[in-house]
A and B are shown apart, each in its own frame.
Chain A
Amino acid sequence: MFWQLAISGMALGCVYALIALGFVLIFKATEVINFAQGEFMMLGAFVAFSLLNYGHLPFWMSVLLTLFIMAGFGAVLDRVVMRYLVGEPVFSMVMFTIGLSIFLRSVAGMIWSTDTYTLELPYGNAIVRIGTVVLSGGDLLVVGATALLVALLFLFFRFTDLGIAMQATSQNQFATYLMGINVERVFSITWALSALVAAVAGILLAPILFLHKDMGFIGLKAFPAAVLGGFGSVPGAIVGGLIIGVSENLAGGFLPLWVKDIFAYIVLIAVLVIRPEGIFGIEEKKKV
């Protein structure tokens, strides 16, 4: 029972981790906080769904095309509006992205109506047994895809010039600019990357949960994940997401079921009270 719940929680935790990763990337590079990350995820899932069902493309092709479309969407969004928000107070950015999420949600409702759809993953119905634990192929695929994506991102940040430029931008925009790096281009690429990660999260989440215009609300649960890991820490986002996913599922199994829905927020408030900088966060000193 315990392991069963823990492992199925891990699949959802991976999705939280990917969403949290998406806004940690943006936050680190541009200091914009994206409350619309969940809606990016929803858009990604719907685009993949449309390509698959209306475009009649094969699964892998539609996934790849979705990633391209969403990356383009992120870059265009940055170029058209988000860039003008850099340097604004936190409050404006939070409310702007909330406005964006409301807007995207209602536009999605106009395009895809308010029905609930299903998106099938290949091998989604396969069943794997390890001892007494029964795993669905879908859950394994989610965990595997997340691991692969995280590994690729690690290699990207560690070994490519662009990845290193992005790291530099997140540390000091002005110094990076002086080093001859096109900071504005880095911003656009960060948004593209973040939208891409969100699209992956959406494609993975839709089969486990559902495909609906309101599925972006799940994205709000990634905030506790990011805070738990230490906001602004990439490994923190992943660990935080996994912890939230697993503990939430366990809470749903062993405590009354309604606790499951708010468990992430209870953890969040506990973390903020005990250790606001999170697991991997560095305590930063106040400057005058």
Chain B
Amino acid sequence: MRFKLKKTYMEDIKLFPDKIDMAWYGLLLIILSIFPLVAGHYWIYNLTLSGIYCIVALGLNILTGFTGQISLGHAAFFAIGAYSVGYLTTTLGWSYWIALPLAGISAAASGLVVAVPALRLSGLYLAIATMGFGFIMEQVIVQWKSVTGGANGLLINRPSISSWSLSSDGAYYYLVIVMVAVFVLLTKNLTRSPAGRAFVAVRDSEVAAQTMGIPLARVKVQAFAISAFYTGIAGGLFAPLINFIGPDNFTIAESINFIVMIIVGGLGSIHGSIFGAVFITLLSEFIRVSKDFIPAFLREQVGFQTAVYGLVLMQFILFEPMGIYGRWLKLKYLFQVFPLYRKDTFRRVRRFQRSERTR
């Protein structure tokens, strides 16, 4: 059994616990950077898409996993990011490198607007209110034709850095991977900082957080704005990737998809966001690969993939609410304490009538 003795607080919040860890992440970075040289276009595209969803999942995890505020309307922020880039580059002809930060900022600004009424709500009410916001935004996209192109959508070209065009899938992949790395680092630093600790405190107990001197309202608004910023940037990366955006890309199903990612990956963890986003984006691929093992009458069905998707979500909530990352942690713990692991180590205690009506 390996036991790490930490002597100072700074040691506890170090970016990498030890050199072995650092080596693993270095290896991952190397694999990711040589990936486009060996893989086909199809896989590069899929991994790029997963990368974009990783940023969304990180953002949503800050709001939902760390701060404990549900949002069923994140596709709206995603849309704001995507359409900001679309409008600024295609219609106004601005540079993508100015439009991308503006996409994040405009999403964050709308996050602030949403956060103010959301302050009074929690749990179920917040879920329904953000869902309503998502529906309203969907309708705004269809109706605001001068900016969004309405139901006809918008065409967006891939950007270039001076003369080097990012229009190939491989080149765009590198842009997205760099952005993912930046945002992972940003999130890691956020969770190590007082702001991130305040988020977690608010999630665990609002009353306790308040007694420790945390301004509840300000922290929640911050969480909303930061989360919306991430999602807006992801939207700004998404639009040039698929070249064409329309209202269909930003429905409630997309918002649900984002939440499913962080549930499947693991709520309140950075690893979890990445695992979940990659897993859900590649789920259809997994199904395609495993088709040989599925009886023919099932795999030919139209709704088979969505049925599996719904089942995966339900199974995770019933059997592994901590997601893939939680399972990984348990596995790691099993090996660390090897003969001492007991079945009940991670047992969930069921509490009846833990009512949130009076929270």
Contacts and interface: CB of A to CB of B under 8 A. Distances in A.
Interface of A: 31, 33, 81, 84-92, 94-96, 98-107, 109-110, 113-114, 172-174, 220, 223-224, 227, 231-232, 258, 261-262, 264-266, 268-269, 272-273, 276, 284-288
Interface string B317-359: 1100100000000000000000000000000001111111111
A90 B124 contact: yes
A33 B355 CA distance: 12
Given A99-B311, A109-B302, A266-B132, 8 more contacts: A91-B64, A94-B127, A102-B313, A106-B307, A262-B136, A266-B136, A268-B132, A273-B120
Contacts of B132: 224, 264-266, 268-269
B235 to A, nearest CB: 21
The 4 closest A-B pairs by CB, nearest first: A106-B303, A103-B310, A99-B313, A265-B132
> Dominant SS at the A interface?
helix
A102 B125 contact: no
A106 B131 contact: no
Nearest to A94: B127
Nearest to A174: B353
Contact of B125 (A86, A105, A173, A276): A276
B32 interface: no
Contacts of B313: 95-96, 98-99, 102
Contacts of B350: 87
A91 B123 CA distance: 7
Contacts of B359: 286-287
A33 B127 CA distance: 11
Contacts of A94: 70, 72, 124, 127
A95 to B, nearest CB: 6
Interface of B: 64, 70, 72, 117, 120-121, 123-125, 127-129, 131-133, 135-136, 139, 142-143, 207, 252, 256, 259-260, 263, 301-304, 306-307, 309-314, 317-318, 321, 350-359
A95 B260 contact: yes
Contacts of B260: 95, 99
Contact of A102 (B120, B131, B306): B306
23 contacts: A86-B352, A87-B352, A88-B321, A90-B70, A90-B127, A92-B317, A94-B72, A95-B313, A99-B317, A100-B310, A102-B309, A103-B307, A104-B310, A105-B310, A110-B307, A258-B139, A258-B143, A261-B139, A265-B131, A265-B132, A269-B117, A269-B132, A286-B359
B310 A223 contact: no
Contacts of A288: 207
